[in-house]
Amino acid sequence: MGKGKAYRGEERDLILKVLTYFEKEKQKGSPLIPIERALDRASAATGVSIRTIRNIKNEAKKLLSTLPSPETSTHIEKLSIITPKPVTSAGIQMKTDRIFTTEELQKVKLSTPKKKKKSGKKLEIDDFTICAIRNIVESFYNVKKEKPTIRKVLAIAKSEFNFPGQATSLRKILKEKLGYRFKDCKNI
């Protein structure tokens, strides 16, 4: 796994953090954090918060539970039958987390959080502005005898009546409010 693969900057940083953590353990000759505290160890090794690691683990569990693989379901049953739940010194059963196999982890494709898009402020356009834009477009066809482009129409709209929008909002007005369609023209 990973042979011949190029790693991005963040992945390389994470690999270096994990390596440094294990080298510190090697120097000490024992684990820096007790082995029983797997989430704490993973957090210390990667530099990622425990909450984030827990969220990633829960996402992987959810994805694995949706995979329709008969081997996976029997593997889970075997794990729960064979391994007894550990008991604390007070006699309370501890909650055990399922350990993923390498094959299972290769099947799982975790999602990447999406960036939230900033929605721009809405441009309020009155009927006068819409009519003025229509007149500009028609003047291109009737008076100037040339094909209008967004750039040309926008320049005239800004100079004649101080149009507050940009090319994207003008394109939206032309398509949705005025019903124009756009066509690629190679020789303009």
Render pLDDT for 25-36 as a digit per residue (tens, 0 to 9): 999 999 999 888
Average pLDDT over residues 157-180: 91
Are the CB atoms for 86 and 94 separated by under 8 Å? yes
How confident is the model at residue 63, as a pLDDT? Answer: 83
Per-position b or e across 84-103, b if 16+ CB within 10 A of its CB = eeeeeeeeeeeeeebebeee
Given a cut of 90, whether residue 51 has pLDDT beyond it is yes
Q: Please give the model's pTM, rounded to 2 decimal places.
A: 0.45
